[in-house]
Structure 1
């Protein structure tokens, strides 16, 4: 039986150990998926001594069963769909459009909140490490991969503490490298693999981004 992580920060430290080969590289940037992926990404970026930013994505939940993802959207107008879920749930074009419009509003709000006056980290031509606290269907991460490529990333790496084996396998067809620290045989949800899994707030995301910006990646004490 796989041991659970104490919290997202501990998970980040463990994932960072699997990414040691990227430490200190000037062509690498870590992007956390808000909100829960940012605490994980913070400790990865800190350990690797590379810049941290966010990749804003929103899950498209099935109406009435919002925890079940039928797809996701990301910055830059990217949308990916889980076609099997859409078909099995009987999602009509109007239903999909309504959910997409609502989530697009929240995505735009988060982009404004998380920017906080900071310049966006440039990812064109760089190696991008996309981080979340875990993957169930992988829809939001697929959207993040597509958005990173749209913004000109040279290589896209997915790195998560825990995920379903199916999600990891599917992402390997889209990302250049996929690191899933744990792929439990019995996977019912991301939260079951953390002792503490409180909801991450907007303010916590903003604070972690500010803390990361205050630790220039070339400083040894950033590790």
Structure 2
């Protein structure tokens, strides 16, 4: 397992996909927050009305904005990385070499998932650090206990958003296609948005973390978070199982 973890970590950290996606997720969230803050400070009445709780120049507004942006946009970035990690072996033609390795394919798939999750946690830690720096630079003062709780929710939201993209890994494996993985990423984003509008609320796994964060830790029950955990586990198991059963004659 250690060898597989090291190999997958090297692939991700030395790839343009990993570097660009990391910069895009962190930089995109922080840049959008900067734009929203500037618009609120300029007193744009239409934007202020649309932003609601985010239209305040304080930690509460900053954290509300970051939760909205993460819920709406970060999923795409995480899904693309996951699609690349699992589909690249097929598109690059390296999958045949994996059959000759002493490390099992199930172990390789598990290593990919573990490295992906570790990368996702790091990305979200850096994002939260950036939010703290922005808040301090804007003169919001030292975060209060409530603000630290909001920052913690942002970290949890970002991490859960990354884990909920795991269906992308399974589809990318089954279809042996990067484009299929990207398509599923887009599809899941759409399902999340439509599901919330349709009233599925916290029972829709891909929407529950966002509703929880935007509700400041309320609005999603323990049972609904249990559905989220089951969703993640099921697709992680399906992905590893698909790798164990891979055949070269397809």
Q: TM-score, normalised by structure 2?
A: 0.26
Flag the structure with higher helix content. Answer: 2
Flag the structure with higher strand content. Answer: 1
Q: TM-score, normalised by structure 1?
A: 0.28
Larger radius of gyration: 2
